[in-house]
Chain A
Amino acid sequence: MSTLEIKGLTVSVETEDGPKEILRGVDLTVNSGETHAIMGPNGSGKSTLAYSIAGHPKYTVTGGTVTLDGEDVLAMSVDERARAGLFLAMQYPVEVPGVTVSNFLRTAKTAIDGEAPKLRTWVKEVKEAMGNLRMDPAFAERNVNEGFSGGEKKRHEILQMELLKPKVAILDETDSGLDVDALKIVSEGVNRAKGSSDLGVLLITHYTRILRYIKPDFVHVFVDGRIVEEGGPELADRLEDEGYDRFTSSATV
Chain B
Amino acid sequence: MSVADTMTADPLARPHTDSVAAFVPDQSRAERTASFDVSAFPVPTGREEEWRFTPVKKLSALFAEGASDGLAWTDSLPAGVTVSPISASDARALGILPPQDRAAVVAAASAAAVLVDIPAEAELAEPVRVVLTGSGDTASHGHVVVRAGRHSKATLVLEHTGLAQHSELVSVVTGDGSDLTVVSTQRWSDGSVHLAQHDALVGRDATYKHVGVTLGGEVVRLNANVRYAGPGGNATLLGVYFADAGQHLEHRSYIDHNAPHCTSRATYKGALQGATARTVWVGDVLIRAEAEGTDTYELNRNLILTDGARADSVPNLEIETGEIEGAGHASATGRFDDLQLFYLQARGIPEDEAKRLVVRGFFADIIREIPLADLRDEITAAIEEELASTAYASANPAANPAANPTAPNADGQTVTKEN
Contacts and interface: CB of A to CB of B under 8 A. Distances in A.
A111 B342 contact: no
Residue picked from A79, A104, A108, A144, most chain B C-beta under 10 Å = A79
Contacts of B339: 94
Contacts of A96: 340, 343-344, 357-358, 361
A65 B344 CA distance: 24
Interface stretch (A31-39, A82-90, A211-219, A220-228): A82-90
A112 B353 CA distance: 13
A54 to B, nearest CB: 5
B300 to A, nearest CB: 15
A54 B339 CA distance: 13
A153 B19 CA distance: 35
A71 to B, nearest CB: 15
Interface in A138-194: 143-144, 160, 164
B381 to A, nearest CB: 15
A107 interface: yes
22 contacts: A79-B350, A82-B345, A83-B348, A88-B346, A94-B337, A94-B339, A96-B340, A96-B343, A96-B344, A96-B357, A96-B361, A97-B361, A98-B360, A98-B365, A99-B361, A107-B353, A107-B357, A108-B344, A111-B348, A111-B353, A112-B347, A164-B348
A42 interface: no
A186 B354 CA distance: 27
Nearest to B301: A97
Interface in B348-364: 348-351, 353-354, 357-358, 360-364
B25 interface: no
Interface residues of B, number: 26
A253 B26 CA distance: 68
Interface in A68-114: 77-79, 81-83, 88, 90, 93-99, 103-104, 107-108, 111-112
Contacts of A104: 344, 347, 357
B351 A79 contact: yes
B362 A97 contact: yes
B11 to A, nearest CB: 6
Contact of B340 (A57, A79, A81, A94): A94
A56 interface: yes
A108 B351 contact: no
B377 interface: no
A143 B357 CA distance: 12
B12 interface: yes
Interface residues of A, number: 29
Interface in B301-342: 337-340, 342
Given A82-B345, A99-B358, A111-B349, 13 more contacts: A79-B347, A94-B337, A95-B11, A97-B364, A99-B357, A99-B361, A99-B364, A104-B347, A108-B347, A111-B348, A112-B348, A144-B343, A164-B348
A103 B338 CA distance: 20
Nearest to B10: A97
Contacts of B338: 57
Interface string B206-246: 00000000000000000000000000000000000000000
B342 A78 contact: yes
A197 B410 CA distance: 51
Residue picked from A55, A81, A97, A160, most chain B C-beta under 10 Å = A97
Nearest to B341: A78
Contacts of B353: 107, 111
Given A56-B342, A57-B342, A96-B357, A107 B349 contact: yes
A237 B113 CA distance: 84
A90 B362 CA distance: 23
Contacts of A77: 345, 351
A78 B357 contact: no
A54 B342 CA distance: 9
Contacts of B365: 97-98
B242 to A, nearest CB: 15
Given A96-B340, A97-B12, A79 B361 contact: no
Contacts of A160: 347
Contact of A94 (B342, B348, B350, B362): B342
Nearest to B362: A98
B361 A143 contact: yes
Given A57-B338, A95-B11, A107-B353, A82 B346 contact: yes
A94 B343 contact: yes
A97 B346 CA distance: 17
A93 B348 contact: no
Interface string A122-143: 0000000000000000000001
A81 B338 CA distance: 17
A98 B340 contact: no
A79 B343 contact: no
B392 to A, nearest CB: 15
B332 to A, nearest CB: 12
A79 B360 contact: no
Nearest to A81: B346
B363 A79 contact: no
A71 B351 CA distance: 21
A88 B338 CA distance: 16
Contacts of A57: 338, 342
Contacts of B345: 55, 77-79, 82
B343 A111 contact: no
Contacts of B343: 90, 93-94, 96, 144
A79 B11 contact: no
